[in-house]
């Protein structure tokens, strides 16, 4: 159970209501507990929603790779709330249960994706252990500097969300 009172979806504050309505239309349902937690402060909700939707919908990397990074990082950070959500997102994209289980553990049969997942998990776990050789390997897979920054930004955003969600003890049914 959440450690703070989450914002109710039936809200009169127009700024929060507008963001919640946008989230509902994007998710096709209710506002996830994480955004109801962010909704306790309108400016935090707005900043996090804008950041999430832009980072996940813009850039060069495929959405499925961003979801895979998110799942692997969330699994590493033991954020069960995010693991559940991003497993479901990958399933909706057609990934098998076995593929999703492997992605969570930062593994893939695809050599490029496997390296990206391991790189992002290392970045969340211990970024001091990332080497120039890691960047060279990413570039040998034809990832640009922009792509690498995008990978790290997805990792960083969800590492932050993981920490907030775990600290608040958010659950899927909150």
When pLDDT is averaged across residues 19-32 and rounded to a whole number, the result is 92
Share of the chain above pLDDT 90, in %: 92
Which CB contacts under 8 angstroms, 24+ apart, belong to 34-37? 34/81, 34/82, 34/161, 34/164, 34/165, 34/170, 36/6, 36/7, 36/8, 36/9, 36/174, 37/2, 37/4, 37/6, 37/7, 37/164, 37/165, 37/168, 37/170
pLDDT tens per residue, range 147-172: 999 999 999 999 999 999 999 999 98
Average pLDDT over the chain reads 96
What's the CA gap between 135 and 77, in Å, rounded?
23
- Annotated domain spans of the chain: 14-57, 63-168
Tell me whether residue 2 is exposed, middle or buried, using C-beta atoms within 10 angstroms of its C-beta: 0 to 12, 13 to 18, 19 or more. Answer: middle
CATH 1.20.1290.10 fits 63-168, yes or no: yes
pLDDT tens per residue, range 87-123: 999 999 999 999 999 999 999 999 999 999 999 999 9
What is the pTM (predicted TM-score) of this model?
0.95
- Residue 28's pLDDT band, with cuts at 50, 70 and 90, is confident
pLDDT tens per residue, range 64-80: 999 999 999 999 999 99
Residue 12's pLDDT is: 86
Residue 124's pLDDT is: 97
At residue 32, does pLDDT exceed 90?
yes
């Amino acid at each position: 159970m959440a450690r703070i009172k989450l914002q109710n979806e039936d809200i009169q504050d127009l700024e929060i209501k507008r963001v919640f309505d946008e989230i509902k239309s994007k998710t096709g349902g209710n506002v996830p507990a994480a955004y109801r937690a962010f909704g306790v402060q309108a400016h935090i909700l707005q900043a996090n929603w804008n950041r999430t939707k832009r980072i996940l919908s813009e850039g060069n990397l495929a959405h499925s790779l961003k979801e895979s990074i998110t799942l692997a990082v969330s699994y590493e950070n033991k954020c069960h709330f995010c693991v559940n959500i991003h497993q479901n997102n990958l399933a909706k994209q057609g990934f098998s249960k076995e593929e999703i289980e492997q992605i969570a553990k930062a593994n893939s049969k695809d050599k490029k994706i496997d390296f990206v997942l391991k790189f992002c998990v290392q970045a969340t776990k211990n970024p001091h252990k990332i080497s120039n050789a890691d960047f060279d390997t990413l570039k040998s897979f034809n990832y640009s500097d922009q792509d690498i920054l995008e990978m790290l930004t997805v990792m960083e955003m969800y590492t932050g969300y993981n920490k907030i969600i775990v600290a608040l003890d958010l659950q899927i049914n909150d």
